[in-house]
């Protein structure tokens, strides 16, 4: 059952599923593995022009051809060197669902 879903991201009762994270499929991030969620404004220097992958090896962006038209992104802090970067279609709904699971 999905609590949030768009064409690239799904929040279930147990995890965030990031579609097209890898060339071969999705990344599954259990809520228990998320230390924090950082909301930020997309810019040329912060992922706006990156439709897939990374330019810094500090984050990894799933495939999202619509990212250049979006305004908001999120980093999921998972304790690993490379943090997932996601740009949900409805940032407020995505943030609300994830924060509810994080107890924040």
- Closest by CA to 9, choosing from 103, 100, 91, is 91
Q: What is the pLDDT of residues 14-54, one digit of tens each?
A: 999 999 999 999 999 999 999 999 999 999 888 899 999 99
What are 45-63's pLDDT values in tens digits?
Answer: 888 999 999 988 899 999 9
Q: What is the pLDDT of residue 18?
A: 98
Residue 75 near residue 84, CB atoms below 8 Å: yes
Domain count, the chain: 1
> By residue range, what is the domain housing residue 34?
2-102
pTM of the model: 0.94
pLDDT surpassing 70 at residue 87:
yes
| pLDDT of res. 71 | 97
Q: What is the pLDDT of residue 104?
A: 64
Average pLDDT, the chain: 95
């Amino acid at each position: 059952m999905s609590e949030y879903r768009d064409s690239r991201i799904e929040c279930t009762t147990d995890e965030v599923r990031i579609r097209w994270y890898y060339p071969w499929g999705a990344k599954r991030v259990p809520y228990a593995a998320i230390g924090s969620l950082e909301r930020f404004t997309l810019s040329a220097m912060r992922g706006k022009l990156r439709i897939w992958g990374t330019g810094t090896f500090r984050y990894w962006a799933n495939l999202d051809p619509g990212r250049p038209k979006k305004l908001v992104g999120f980093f999921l802090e998972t304790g690993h060197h490379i943090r997932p970067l996601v740009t949900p279609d409805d940032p407020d709904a995505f943030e609300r669902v994830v924060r509810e699971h994080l107890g924040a």
